[in-house]
Amino acid sequence: MPETATPFWLDRQDLQQLIEALQAAGHRVVGPQVRDAAVVYDDLPAATALPHGLIDEQDGGWYRLIEQALAGPFDHVAGPHSLKNFLFPPRETIQQWRREEGSWRQVNEQAIPVPLAVIGPRACDLRALAIQDQVFLEGEYVDPFYRTRRERLFIVAVNCRRAAATCFCHSMGCGPEVTIGHDLLLTPVCERFVVEIGSAAGATVAAELAAGRLPCTTADLAAAREVSRELAAAMASRPMTPVRPHAQVAPTALPIAGPQPRPVPAHRSLDTENIRDLLFDNLEHDRWAEVAERCLACGNCTMVCPTCFCSSVTEVAELSGDNVSRERHWASCFTAEHGQMHGANARPTTAARYRQWLTHKLAGWIDQFGSSGCTGCGRCITWCPVGIDLTEEVAAIRETSS
């Protein structure tokens, strides 16, 4: 093993040097920051911009940042953004056409993107990345736009040391411990980080960063592993969410402005045993109509989901009509556009659209790509305006499976 592959300690106040090492290697550096009262990914000007001293409280339809003096820069968990926002952006130009002497010519001006380094992805995010790789790179066809960005991605992953009530990566086999897919890995131990190297690119950046720092001992690494082990044990022993009968979860009144009393957060877990057949055997279960009474079909869950990949292509023409751009943007199975055919809509109801989303994510995905499309990150629960919880919907169907 080369000298640079040795794990080393990085002090919290030295994160700036990590950013500078990534910039020196030619990367645009992106990391978690607070925007509009949520932790999102954005260009990281300095380590001081990281969300130091904040944790996030999450539950169905609920996200609040809370100040906590002892919290480090990564003690929040999944926010509304994921790596998807960068590798498969919400909107991008995929082609440009120009009419010359009556014929259409493709304008080949696809800029090579600047290599991107993202600080902060968790185990669930790396699993989501592997899933999106399957969709865009590993099938019968390869998406050239995703590939160009993916080949230039550097990941500084972070091990979680707390979980939100919406987190259930442990039951999806995706976390909480980062094991693959990172270039560098930070594990917070007290007020320092154990830095481990996961790739040749990671070793190159680490070579400079590690100079003069304390190498980790076997005991130090064991302490890092213990962070994930303790969290996994804590997640597994949390009380489960009770399945609420439909009458209790139907919206009764508009929310009142001002502080709302919060119930004790429910803890999520998803029983994945035989889940493909469970869902495909219950395509006409009453629960789809029930959830449709609560679902607003807003599509938030598909936007924040780190694996949802549906898109549509829109023509953007100049007034002359001689210059045309084609924009690919995220699509959602909750919209009418998704199932539109001439003269008919394949899925005209919210019940059919919710069923499409859930059965694709948890069942059809297994046929298509060999694994679940869910990583247990819980974003769809948090960002659902009415707090619909897929773990609860699956449990309800399982309890009353026909």
Partner 1 sequence: MSWSVGTATAAAPAAGPIPPWEYAQATIAALHDDAPGVRSYALAIDEPHRNRLVASLPGQFNMLYLPGIGEAAISIASPPGEHPVLHTVRAVGNVTKHLAGMRVGDDLLIRGPYGRHWPLEELVGADLIIAAGGVGLASVRAAVCQAANHRDHFGRVAVLFGAKSPDDLFYQSDIAAWRAAGIAVELIVDQDTSGWDGPVGFVPQLLRDQPVVAATAVITCGPEVMMRALATAAFGRGLPPERFWLSMERNMHCAAGFCGLCQFGPEFVCKDGPVFRHDRISRYLEVPQL
Residues lying near partner 1 in the complex (CB under 8 A) are found at 94-95, 97, 99, 102-104, 106, 135-136, 139-144, 280, 283-284, 309-313, 315, 317, 321, 324, 331, 333, 337-343, 346-349, 351-352, 355-356, 359-360, 363-368
Q: Closest CB to partner 1 among 254 and 341?
A: 341
Q: How far is the CB of 341 from partner 1 (least distance, A)?
A: 6
| Residues 181-185: contacts with CB under 8 Å, at least 24 apart | 181/126, 181/127, 181/129, 181/130, 181/155, 181/157, 182/121, 182/126, 182/155, 182/156, 182/157, 183/154, 183/155, 183/156, 184/18, 184/155, 184/156, 184/157, 185/156, 185/157, 185/158, 185/159
**Cα torsion angle, 126, 127, 132, 138, sign:** positive
d(CA 394, CA 272): 9
Q: Closest CB to partner 1 among 209 and 308?
A: 308
Q: Closest CB to partner 1 among 166 and 332?
A: 332
Residue 29: what residue type? Answer: V
Q: Closest CB to partner 1 among 57 and 327?
A: 327
How does strand 91-100 pair with strand 153-158?
unpaired
Burial of 270 (0-12, 13-18, 19+ CB in 10 A): buried
Q: How far is the CB of 275 from partner 1 (least distance, A)?
A: 13
Q: How far is the CB of 295 from partner 1 (least distance, A)?
A: 15
DSSP structure string for 245-258: PHHHHS--SPPPSS
> What strands lie across the sheet with 311-317, from one edge to the other?
103-106, 91-100, 323-330, 311-317
Q: What is the maximal distance between C-alpha atoms in the chain?
A: 72
d(CA 287, CA 279): 11
Q: How far is the CB of 14 from partner 1 (least distance, A)?
A: 41
Q: How far is the CB of 24 from partner 1 (least distance, A)?
A: 35
Q: How far is the CB of 250 from partner 1 (least distance, A)?
A: 22
Q: How far is the CB of 89 from partner 1 (least distance, A)?
A: 14
Q: Closest CB to partner 1 among 142 and 214?
A: 142
Nearest to 311 by CA among 342, 335, 341: 335
Q: Closest CB to partner 1 among 86 and 97?
A: 97
Q: How far is the CB of 116 from partner 1 (least distance, A)?
A: 21
Q: Closest CB to partner 1 among 61 and 364?
A: 364
Residue 375, CA atoms < 13 Å, CB-side half-sphere: 26
Q: How far is the CB of 258 from partner 1 (least distance, A)?
A: 40
Between helix 390-399 and helix 350-359 the angle, nearest 10°, is: 90
Q: Closest CB to partner 1 among 67 and 284?
A: 284
d(CA 363, CA 366): 5
Q: Do residues 42 and 30 touch, judged by C-beta distance below 8 A?
A: yes
Q: Closest CB to partner 1 among 106 and 237?
A: 106
